[in-house]
Amino acid sequence: MSLLASVRQGAKGFAWFMRGVMGDDAYDKYKAHHQALRDAHRDTHHDPDAAVCDGPRMMTEREFWRDQTDRQDINPQGRCC
């Protein structure tokens, strides 16, 4: 059982690593960033309804992925030899 558990944990860790390296988690990170901003905003204003920040609106998942490649269009990154 403990062997099975550690195998499962290893597989989970590998999946987490691959997701990160391949960039699957980009939107999750973006969302977390926005939520943290919103929380901080709410904390400072002590107003539970102040959900709307002054900053940019949070993009939907589809918008985010489009925006990501569009940003690469104008800001290319080298790949080494």
Between CA 63 and CA 65 the distance in angstroms is 6
Using CA atoms, how far apart are residues 50 and 10, in angstroms rounded to an integer? Answer: 42
Q: Shortest approach of other proteins to residue 4 CB, angstroms?
A: 24
Q: Which of residues 5-34 bind other proteins (CB under 8 A)?
A: 17-24, 26-27, 29-34
Q: Is 45 in the site for other proteins (CB under 8 A)?
A: no
Residues with Cβ < 8 Å from 54, sequence gap 6 or more?
Answer: none
Using CB under 8 A as the binding rule, whether residue 70 contacts other proteins is answered as: yes
53 near other proteins, rule: CB under 8 A: no
Task: Supply 11's token pair.
Answer: 């597989």
74 binds other proteins (CB under 8 A): yes
Site membership for other proteins, residue 78 (CB under 8 A)? yes
